[in-house]
């Protein structure tokens, strides 16, 4: 707790960083934050917090904040400060001009998981009702879109199954492609408490994270696979469970589709899915695959937690379904202590997806082609909706380069730094005729913008975030918006300037509209959140107090569905020219592209991205500790300093992506998940060589 002076007033609000969604008391003196105190009654954090959340107000008051709307005709022109009215009217007239010239579908919008539910809902409503198309997407496209797809197919709902507290009843914890110690620290502490009580731990990760071995933790199994082979590992584990009759026959008979189980059983028992066959692909010894499978199936309550190391692959959706298969086969779903739990990286990834900021889905994951659902929204919104799905983010870039997508409204997302293959992204942005960026800072994307609309931080607005456990918590305005408008008011102004009236006096009215149109939110209101502290959706007539554990007694889709998970190698192959695989991750003190944490005291603990190289690979290349190294992939090249460590295995290098200078995404490629286009950030073939850095 950092004490800056005597507090005069305080409000309970929610951290705007990771998917844990810690509750804080913001103590204020006038309009200045005095300190941020973790809320002991917070349902997700129980009075704990991490180093990011405690310093979060630093970026809200940083000198780099942009507080004036600005416009320019060309991106080579200097910015011109204008009034809110002039900026919004200019953006609206440019969007209408582009539509008149290139057609209705030539513009679209991108929202961020850092937006509140209400803001995200408004942006997708603006695109659908005022732009007249479905070209709306969210940054969940590049992180957890395979979770949405995979869990919907198998279990029937695009969300994690448990509350965080459920981990305290787990006997075996399996972490796949996630490092909660860095990315979800408060939940990692809870997990460690359970491990100290005797729960067993399996970690599936190419890198020895803090969850594999640290002063408080030692994994029983660390399956150190080659990046890109998750599906081989999960299918081999399923093979062991089925061939050794470790499955839960009663659960499967009562809860799952019989034919899908029979087909899946036949599939996983094929010899080419055996541990020996999959060991050759994944690099994980067959005996370790067997041991981990036996422990998970027979060790009591088995709970699976996974992160972007699962989703950001060309088989991301396949792996999510493989995880759901394993949970169903072992009966580890539908009660406390078990379940399938995506660890959402950002504060409101779950909410951004729930709110319909996808080109194919309206709020509540209902397909835009469903006439009944569409009619309900058309009546409520007083508009006609296009039944055809719109463009996903990567399709927007491709269409821009084709000359058919020319205008973009981008709220709270730095797509230049966060999307893969930066050269492709910047070429697409440069080809567009009007880009409107709404953000706290003049970020990398704003370099290509024609209109800049100042954003508001989490301390300057009311709204809600939904964390990784489907928990809806209030974000409360503790100071007036520094630029004069909260983000939701900017979207409302833009809609009105486009001739589509939006009339809200407060975000609670937006939530009331969301609740009226979304069955899983039917019982949600600000009043109820204030009374209960937070609510886990579904919250409706059947579950007025919310739903901590999903799929009790029956899956949302009725019977659970097994889906075969055939392994395919990534298109990204190692060659003599590119002999190493680069994979990426996060560090505790920084958050995503660092736009926020780099402007707080967090920067003192981690002020640059580094490349981790195994000692063997370093010696082969003459790389010494702290040397500058050039990294080249098929997409591009960048330079980082090296850390030599056996945390990574030979043949694998690793970096974080928190600094624009590191250019991590200059070298990632256009490969993506077959079902959702989620980029394959985790597998890039590279060469690494020492360089001299000026």
Summarize as ranges the residues that interact with ligand SF4 (CB under 6 A): 15, 17-18, 20-22, 45, 49-50, 52-53, 184-186
Cβ neighbour number for residue 553 with a 10 Å cutoff? 8
- How far apart CA 425 and CA 395 sit, in angstroms, is 11
Cis check for the bond before 644: say yes or no (omega within 30 of 0): no
Nearest distance from C-beta of residue 207 to ligand SF4, angstroms: 21
Q: Which is nearer to ligand SF4, 20 or 623 (CB)?
A: 20
Question: How far is residue 276 from each of residues 237, 441, 478, measured CA to CA in Å?
Answer: 11, 52, 58
The owner of tokens 């981008």 is 410
Percentages of the chain per state (helix, strand, coil), in multiples of 5:
35, 20, 45
Residue 610: cis peptide before it, omega within 30 degrees of 0 = no
Least Cα distance to 676 among 316, 354, 231, 151 occurs for 316
Cα separations (Å) of 620 from 614, 616, 643? 10, 6, 15
Measured from the CB atom, the residue of 45 and 158 that comes closer to ligand SF4 is: 45
At its nearest, how many Å lie between ligand SF4 and the CB of residue 49?
4
CB of 524 to ligand SF4, least distance (A): 21
Other beta carbons within 10 angstroms of residue 169's beta carbon come to: 16
CB 610 within 8 A of CB 641: yes
- Which residue of this chain has its Cβ atom nearest to ligand SF4 in the complex? 53
In terms of CB distance, is 15 or 236 closer to ligand SF4?
Answer: 15
Nearer to ligand SF4, 426 or 597 (CB): 597
In the bound complex, what is the minimum distance in angstroms from residue 660's beta carbon to ligand SF4? Answer: 21
Number of residues that this document lists for the chain: 694
Q: How far is the CB of 188 from ligand SF4 (least distance, A)?
A: 8
The span from the CA of 142 to the CA of 358, in Å, is: 12
Tokens representing residue 338 in the block: 């078990």
**To 10 degrees, what angle do helices 145-154 and 316-329 make?**
40
Taking the complex as a whole, how short is the minimal distance between the CB of residue 300 and ligand SF4, in angstroms? 27
Largest Cα separation within the chain, whole Å, is: 70
Using the minimum distance from each CB to ligand SF4, give the nearer residue, 116 or 229.
116
Minimum Å gap between C-beta 22 and ligand SF4 is 3
Q: Which is nearer to ligand SF4, 37 or 107 (CB)?
A: 37
Supply the DSSP symbol for 538. Answer: P
Structure tokens at 62: 């940083």
Close Cβ partners of 162 (under 8 Å, ≥ 6 residues apart)? 303, 336, 338, 339, 341, 469, 548, 549, 550
Q: Compute the least distance from the CB of residue 240 to ligand SF4, in Å.
A: 35
CB closer to ligand SF4 out of 11 and 294: 11
- The token pair at 171 is 């006997």
Question: Which candidate, 394, 357, 363, places its Cα nearest to that of 377?
Answer: 363
Question: Least distance in Å: CB of 463 to ligand SF4?
Answer: 16
Closer CB to ligand SF4, 18 or 623, in the complex: 18
Please identify, using beta-carbon distances, which residue of 17 and 261 lies nearer to ligand SF4.
17
Which of 414/469 has CB closer to ligand SF4? 469
Q: How far is the CB of 25 from ligand SF4 (least distance, A)?
A: 13
């Amino acid at each position: 707790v950092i004490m800056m002076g005597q507090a005069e007033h305080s409000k309970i609000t929610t951290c705007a960083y990771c998917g844990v969604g810690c509750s804080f008391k913001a103590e204020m003196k006038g309009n200045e934050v005095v300190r941020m105190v973790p809320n002991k009654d917070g349902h997700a954090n129980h009075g704990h917090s991490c180093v990011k959340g405690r310093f979060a107000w630093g970026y809200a008051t940083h000198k780099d904040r942009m507080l004036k709307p600005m416009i320019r005709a060309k991106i080579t022109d200097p910015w011109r400060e204008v009034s809110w009215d002039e900026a919004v009217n200019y953006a609206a007239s440019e969007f209408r001009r582009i539509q008149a010239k290139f057609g209705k579908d030539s513009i679209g919008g991108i929202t961020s998981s850092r937006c509140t539910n209400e803001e995200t809902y408004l942006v997708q409503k603006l695109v659908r009702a005022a732009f007249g198309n479905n070209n709306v997407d969210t940054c969940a496209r590049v992180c957890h879109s395979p979770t949405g797809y995979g869990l919907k197919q198998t279990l029937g709902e695009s969300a994690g199954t448990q509350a965080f507290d459920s981990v305290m009843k787990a006997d075996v914890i399996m972490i796949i492609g996630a490092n909660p110690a860095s990315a979800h620290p408060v939940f990692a502490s809870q997990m460690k408490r359970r491990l100290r009580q005797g729960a067993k731990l399996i970690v599936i990760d190419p890198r020895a994270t803090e969850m594999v071995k640290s002063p408080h933790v030692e994994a029983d199994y660390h399956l150190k696979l080659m990046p890109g082979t998750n599906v081989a590992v999960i299918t081999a584990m399923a093979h062991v469970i089925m061939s050794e009759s470790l499955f839960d026959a009663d659960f499967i008979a009562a809860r799952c589709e019989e034919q899908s189980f029979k087909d899946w059983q036949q599939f996983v028992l094929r010899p080419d899915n055996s541990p020996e066959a999959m060991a050759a692909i994944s690099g994980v010894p067959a005996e370790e695959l067997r041991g981990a499978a036996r422990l998970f199936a027979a060790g009591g309550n088995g709970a699976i937690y996974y992160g972007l190391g699962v989703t950001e692959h060309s088989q991301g959706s396949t792996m999510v379904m493989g995880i759901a298969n394993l949970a169903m086969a072992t009966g580890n779903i539908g009660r406390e202590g078990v379940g399938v739990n995506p660890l959402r990286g950002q504060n409101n990834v779950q909410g951004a997806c729930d709110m319909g900021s996808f080109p194919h889905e309206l709020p509540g994951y209902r397909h835009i082609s469903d006439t009944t659902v569409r009619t309900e929204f058309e009546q409520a919104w007083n508009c006609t909706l296009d039944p055809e799905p719109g463009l996903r983010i990567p399709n927007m870039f491709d269409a821009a380069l084709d000359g058919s997508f020319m205008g973009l409204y981008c709220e709270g997302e730095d797509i230049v730094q966060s999307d893969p293959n930066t050269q492709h992204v910047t070429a697409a942005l440069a080809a567009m005729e009007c880009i409107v960026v709404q953000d706290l800072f003049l970020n990398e994307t704003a370099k290509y913008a024609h209109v800049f609309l100042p954003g508001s931080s989490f301390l300057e607005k009311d709204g809600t975030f939904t964390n990784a456990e489907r928990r809806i918590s209030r974000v409360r305005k503790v100071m007036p918006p520094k630029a004069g408008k909260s983000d939701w008011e900017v979207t409302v102004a833009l809609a009105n300037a486009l001739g589509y009236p939006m009339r809200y006096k407060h975000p609670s009215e937006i939530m009331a509209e969301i609740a009226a149109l979304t069955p899983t939110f039917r019982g949600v209101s600000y009043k109820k959140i204030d009374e209960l502290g937070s609510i886990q959706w579904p919250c409706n007539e059947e579950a007025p107090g919310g739903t901590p554990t999903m799929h009790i007694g029956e899956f949302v889709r009725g019977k659970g569905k097994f889906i075969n998970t055939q392994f395919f190698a990534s298109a990204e192959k190692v060659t003599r020219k590119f002999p190493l695989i680069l994979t990426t991750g996060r560090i505790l003190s920084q958050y995503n592209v660092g736009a926020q944490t780099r402007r707080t005291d967090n920067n003192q603990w981690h002020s640059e991205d580094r490349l981790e190289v195994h000692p063997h690979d370093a010696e082969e290349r003459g790389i010494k500790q702290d040397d500058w190294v050039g990294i080249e992939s098929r997409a591009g090249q960048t330079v980082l300093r090296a850390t030599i460590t056996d945390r990574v295995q030979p043949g694998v290098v690793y970096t974080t992506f928190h600094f624009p200078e590191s250019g991590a995404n200059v070298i990632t490629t256009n490969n993506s998940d077959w079902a959702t286009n989620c980029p394959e950030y985790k597998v890039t073939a590279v060469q690494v060589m020492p360089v001299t850095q000026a």
